[in-house]
Amino acid sequence: MMQLEIIDRLVNEVLLRVRPRALVLLTAADGYQEIIQSRLRHCKTLSLTALFADNAHKFHAEEAWCHLGPLTTLAEITGTGALDNIERILIPFLDFSTAAEVANGLLQSDSAKLINLALMSGKPVMALDYNCNPASELNQLKGLSRGGANPALSKLAARGIQLCTLDQMLSAEPIASGAAAQSYMTLSELKRRNGQAPPGAKLTDLALEYSRGKSNPRSSGG
């Protein structure tokens, strides 16, 4: 029995190493936490690492998340280049504050800094909007839907955030979802096309800056 347990542990370790790595960014929200955490725990397509952003500990317990994989910090990500080994960023609990901050280009919180770094590195950033969308069923149940749609959501899509479903988030390949996400070409997609966007394509802010640099690389040199 002991040998079987050792073999099972070794097999699991090998699978974790060969699966694409995803960073789960935990923010200050926890709607649908139990079911989302269960789905992540049983995910067989990705190897997960979790990062607790500002105030996330008020909503999420480390002991509940360390079972999914190793924990990391923003300092470790920025100081060691660990993001190079991450295929995508998952934000299952996107809160109102982080959504507004990223939408307005602010970089004050850990979560906004990490999202900006990921986008600049061409990493897919995939988020669920249950917590930050006033029109979601969750916020309707909480009585927080009186303010109408959150204008930050369209800005997030323009910056390259993929607002998606949990199935899409945990798919073997990261994909854009929804009309807003599909209508904008992200930096990573533009790089895969060697900087050549199809006619009429809409570019995210970072992709647009990259495109301008490719078309006029000496513009800043006078």
Higher local confidence (pLDDT), 206 or 120: 120
Question: CA dist 50 to 168, 208, 211, Å?
Answer: 19, 30, 32
Predicted local distance difference test score (pLDDT) of residue 180: 38
Q: Which residues pair with 217 in a beta bridge?
A: none
Q: Which amino acid is at 25?
A: L
Least confident span in 1-15, 62-76, 152-166: 1-15
Using only C-alpha atoms, what is the Rg of the chain? 19
Average pLDDT in the chain: 81
CB–CB of 21/46 below 8 Å? yes
CATH 3.40.50.1950 correct for 19-174: yes
Containing 180, the helix (H) or strand (E) segment is helix 178-182
What digits encode the pLDDT tens for the residues 7-27?
555 555 555 566 789 999 999
Q: Where in the chain is the domain with CATH 3.40.50.1950?
A: 19-174
Interatomic CA distance for residues 220 and 205, integer angstroms: 18
What digits encode the pLDDT tens for the residues 101-117?
999 989 999 999 999 99
Task: Provide mean pLDDT across the span 59-78.
Answer: 90
CB–CB of 128/92 below 8 Å? yes
Tell me, what DSSP letter sits at residue 69? S
Predicted local distance difference test score (pLDDT) of residue 142: 83
Predicted local distance difference test score (pLDDT) of residue 50: 95
Higher local confidence (pLDDT), 8 or 66: 66
What digits encode the pLDDT tens for the residues 170-216?
987 765 433 334 446 667 777 777 777 766 666 766 777 788 776 66
Burial class (CB in 10 A: 0-12, 13-18, 19+), 145: middle
Predicted local distance difference test score (pLDDT) of residue 52: 96
